Chains A and B, each alone.
Chain A
Amino acid sequence: MITLTDFLLVGAVLFSTGIYMIVSKRNSIQVLIGIELMLNAAILNLVAFGRFDKLKNSGQVFALFAIVLAAATTAVALAIILNVYRRYKTIDPDEIKNLRD
């Protein structure tokens, strides 16, 4: 069987890839993809630990919650990105310096 450490290592690599994307990308959509990668790494850890809780399924249930939360977050974030694009004509996070006007 696959050990728990293997899953955690894969999750760690995905998590740091997500951090790299968030810090280095100059496009809000790619920053959002980085956030999704980090969320997926966390979900992978939840699922891997959830194997050892057959009765209550805590890991899998909270993995489901995290997936739903990610969907809600993405919808709002994309609405914000479209609004920012409409106002500033760019989606580079470094260029957006004002909160309002």
Chain B
Amino acid sequence: MSMIRLMFYVMSFIAIASALYAALSKNLVRSIFVFFVTLFALAGLYVLALADFVAVTQVVIYVGGILVLILFAFMLSRRETLNVIQQRKSTFINMAKVPALILAALFLVVLVNVILKADADNLPWIKEAIAQKNVITPTSSTIDNIGVNLMTTYLLPFEAISILLLMALVGAAHLSRKEGSA
């Protein structure tokens, strides 16, 4: 039991520290690569929340797809303009960032207050789920249940998502074609 807590603290420390580094780093490439680490640590947190299928999907789609896409976009845009942005940013470092810092800090305070007041572990429906043994335990396998639910209970959102993916595919292809052909 304490081993799981230790793993949780390690994973959340890695996730938060790398997210903060990605937020504070001035170098774009470095913040993209540190974001890799954040996503992997979040996949570890999903495993600790007993959602192994979501964790594997996270690794496949986020780490394998989205980050490669971001790296592509970065490499297709030219380096000089990025450097200009970075240098100008470092001169205005204090003025531009104070409002963002205040906003983020106040939002964090509000969120933490809400979470501590809500006391999520003692919500009525969660107690009911625990009483009815409707809780995922470390020994139970959930993947077959997810598959069955995806094709029965959640069929409508599933189809809606597939149409939206098709629209995003067409839209991305339309947006990134050459300028002259329109």
Total interface residues in chain A, CB < 8 Å: 74
Given A20-B23, A55-B145, A71-B62, 5 new contacts (CB under 8 A)? A10-B45, A29-B73, A40-B38, A72-B164, A78-B69
Does A75 touch B at the CB level, under 8 Å? yes
Q: Which residues of A contact B104 (CB under 8 A)?
A: 16-17, 19-20, 23
A29 and B58 alpha carbons, distance in the complex (Å): 20
Contact status A33-B179, CB under 8 Å: no
A75 and B68 alpha carbons, distance in the complex (Å): 11
- List 16 A-B pairs, Cβ < 8 Å: A2-B8, A3-B121, A5-B119, A6-B12, A12-B115, A14-B38, A18-B19, A19-B104, A23-B104, A27-B86, A33-B32, A47-B51, A51-B51, A72-B164, A75-B169, A82-B73
Contact status A70-B62, CB under 8 Å: yes
Contact status A67-B49, CB under 8 Å: no
Grouping DSSP codes into helix (H, G, I), strand (E, B) and loop, the B interface class, with mixed when no group exceeds half, is helix
> Which A residues are closer than 8 A to B by beta carbons?
1-10, 12-21, 23-24, 26-27, 29-30, 32-34, 36-37, 40, 43-44, 47-57, 59-65, 67-76, 78-83, 85-86, 89-92
Contact status B73-A20, CB under 8 Å: no
Does B135 touch A at the CB level, under 8 Å? yes
A91 and B125 alpha carbons, distance in the complex (Å): 46
Contact status A33-B15, CB under 8 Å: no
